[in-house]
Structure 1
Amino acid sequence: MNLIIQTIIGNQQSLKQQQRLHTQNIDTVSLQWFEADRRIIRTTTAAGRDIAFRLLKEGQRLHHDDVVYLDTQLAIVVQIEPSEVMVLAPQTLPEMARACYEIGNKHTPLFLDGNELLLPFDKPLFEWLQAAGFAPVRQQRRLSEQLRANSAPGVGGGHAHSHAHASSDHHHH
């Protein structure tokens, strides 16, 4: 079975609540966090099904527990694998702002989990964050809600790179 996935059906929890997820046969496809926003991915599910993602919609990215295939017999669900991360828990809004500003200047992917900032582990950056007084913690966590800059092309007078602004894009399908 060679499946080509072009759209995300919804989140596993919301589909269960809407009673659209009837099947007990759930297959999973495991991805690393950095694969989640690739437009084209070829991989194999846990049960050995060959699948290809061809997600061509702008800004579309895969999230943990996304259902990407659903019929009466089978559901295929995305699993974002936990990875080694740095966790920052700024205690005040100014501290959060400073952390986001400094990290943004380093062009490192930044993820939000509740009130915590998560970044892929990087030893020099970890040591820099410690020296800057942010008290980063090294953990195994799942990176799935990446902060994104909302800069439209052509806006900003030729400024070549985008800057991240805190936003929470929770998906309500």
Structure 2
Amino acid sequence: MIVEKIVTNIENMEKEEIEKHHIEKVYLESADLVKRIQRVTTDHGKEIGIRLKEHRDLVAGDVLYMDDKNLIVIDVQSDDLLVIKPRSIKEMGTIAHQLGNRHLPAQFEGDEMLVQYDYLVEELLQDLQIPFEREERKVKKAFRHIGHSHG
């Protein structure tokens, strides 16, 4: 089977609609969410080719296939993350500036800043005394590096 477009996202479906389907999952690393072309295997052993015509990243919950009885849905494996919890706008600005200088992609959930684990960032947070925790957590979308040069 080759998937060329995303049917919907499971978050946009009614609970009753979801419950009447058998669900197979495709577990991806967050870095694989940016790949428009890839071969994956469901948790039931079914091989699927993904070749998206649309220029978009995959997102947790994307439905690759749906019929009257079955759904095949993207799920994301947990990442090793630093969950940064600044106490003030000054701390947020300080760490955002430092991470920006390192060109590290970040995501935000509520008042938390999420970055992929890096021991140098962990040391920086300790030095700056900015609260953080190291956690295994699922993210909904990929950490995307933004192309940039200082030239």
Instruction: Name the structure 2 match of 1:57.
Output: 54
What are structure 1's unaligned runs of at least 5 residues? Answer: 152-159, 163-173
- The TM-score with structure 2 as length reference comes to 0.85
Q: Normalising to structure 1: TM-score of the pair?
A: 0.75
Segment of structure 1 superposing worse, 39-48 or 124-133: 124-133
Q: Matches of 1:12 and 1:33 in 2, distance apart?
A: 18
Shift of 1:30: 0.1
Structure 2: which 5+ residue stretches go unaligned? none
Q: Aligned partners of 1:10, 1:90: CA distance in 2, in Å?
A: 35
Deviations 1:57-78 (A, max 9, x none): 33x1112222121111210111
Structure 1 residues 123 and 56 mapped into 2: Cα distance closer, same or farther (>3 Å)?
farther
Q: Which has the higher contact order (CA 8 A, sep 6+)?
A: 2
Quick one: which amino acid aligns to residue 118 of structure 1? L
Distance 1:4 1:63, change over 3 A: same
Per-residue CA deviation, residues 85-121 of structure 1 (Å, 9 max, x unaligned), is: 1000122233223322221221222121221111111
The amino acid of 2:93's aligned partner reads: A
RMSD after superposition: 2.4
Q: Distance in 2 between matches of 1:134 and 1:125?
A: 11
Identity, % of aligned positions: 28
Q: Could you tell me which residue of structure 2 aligns to residue 36 of structure 1?
A: 33
Separation in 2, partners of 1:145, 1:101: 22
Q: Which residues of 2 match residues 3-152 of structure 1 at below 5 A? A: 3-16=1-14, 21=18, 23-58=20-55, 60-145=56-141
Shift of 1:145: 4.1
